[in-house]
C-alpha cells in the first residue's frame, strides 16, 4: 500500500467492507466482466447516471426520442426492464469496463493510507499500482502517482458503496448526467454556487 508520512494507515479502510476493500472488489468484478455482480457494490445514483449516459448516446444517434427517454431510464433503473434493453445495457457497460481496467489487477493495486473525507458520507479512495517491488510507495508530500484510479465512496445503509469512478463529487442525474470531471463540459453553463442571477436583458 502507499503510505503518507503525515498519517498512520487507517486499517479499517482496508477490510473487505471498508472503503478500500469495496473499491478493490468493484475493480476486480468489473475487469472480469461481472457487471451485475459489481452493481451490488455501487450506489443506486451511480447506476442511474450510467443508464442515463448510455441512453443519451442512443438518443444522440437517433435510436431513442427525447420524449421517451425519461420513462425508459426509469424502467431500466427501477425494474431492469425491458429485459432485452437491460441485457444490451449490461453487455455494453461490461465491455467498456473490461477494456478500461484490463490492466488494473487488484492484486497489484495499493491504496493511499490517509483517509480523505469529502463530506459527512463520502470518502475519496485512491488506487495505484504498487510498483515492481510490490511494497508500494512512501510519499512524504503531495505527489502525482502514475495510473491512479480515484473512487468516490459513499457510506449509506451501514455500507460503503462506489458513488463515482471518474469524479470526486457524486454524479448529478440528468439527460445527460454530470460526472464532475475536468473533461466533462456538461456543467460549463452552471452558475457558481451563491452567485447572483444575471439580470434579464432589456
What digits encode the pLDDT tens for the residues 124-174? 999 988 865 545 544 444 445 556 899 999 999 999 999 999 999 999 999
What is the reported pLDDT for 143? 46
Tell me the average pLDDT across 91-98.
98
pTM exceeds 0.75, yes or no: yes
More confident residue, 139 or 21: 21
More confident residue, 132 or 75: 75
CB 27 within 8 Å of CB 126: no
- Can you give the residue ranges of every domain in the chain? 3-164
- Bridge partners of 151? 125
Contacts for 75-83: CB closer than 8 Å, 24+ residues apart:
76/51, 77/44, 77/47, 77/48, 77/51
Average pLDDT, the chain: 85
Amino acid at each position: 500500500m502507499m503510505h503518507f508520512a503525515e498519517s498512520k494507515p487507517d486499517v479499517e479502510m482496508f477490510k473487505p467492507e471498508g472503503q478500500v476493500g469495496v473499491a478493490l472488489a468493484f475493480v476486480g468484478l468489473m475487469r472480469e466482466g461481472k457487471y451485475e455482480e459489481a452493481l451490488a457494490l455501487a450506489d443506486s445514483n451511480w447506476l442511474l447516471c450510467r443508464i442515463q449516459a448510455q441512453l443519451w448516446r442512443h438518443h444522440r444517434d437517433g435510436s431513442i426520442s427525447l420524449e421517451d427517454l425519461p420513462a425508459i431510464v426509469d424502467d431500466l433503473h427501477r425494474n431492469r426492464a425491458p429485459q432485452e434493453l437491460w441485457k444490451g445495457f449490461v453487455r455494453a457497460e461490461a465491455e467498456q469496463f473490461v477494456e478500461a481496467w484490463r490492466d488494473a489487477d487488484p492484486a497489484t493495486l495499493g491504496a493511499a493510507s490517509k483517509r480523505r473525507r469529502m463530506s459527512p458520507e463520502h470518502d475519496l479512495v485512491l488506487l495505484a499500482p504498487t510498483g515492481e517491488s510490490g511494497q508500494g510507495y512512501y510519499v512524504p508530500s503531495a505527489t502525482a502517482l502514475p495510473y491512479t484510479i480515484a473512487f468516490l465512496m459513499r457510506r449509506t445503509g451501514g455500507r460503503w458503496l462506489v458513488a463515482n469512478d471518474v469524479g470526486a463529487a457524486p454524479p448529478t442525474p440528468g439527460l445527460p448526467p454530470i460526472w464532475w470531471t475536468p473533461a466533462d463540459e456538461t456543467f460549463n453553463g452552471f452558475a457558481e454556487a451563491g452567485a447572483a442571477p444575471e439580470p434579464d436583458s432589456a
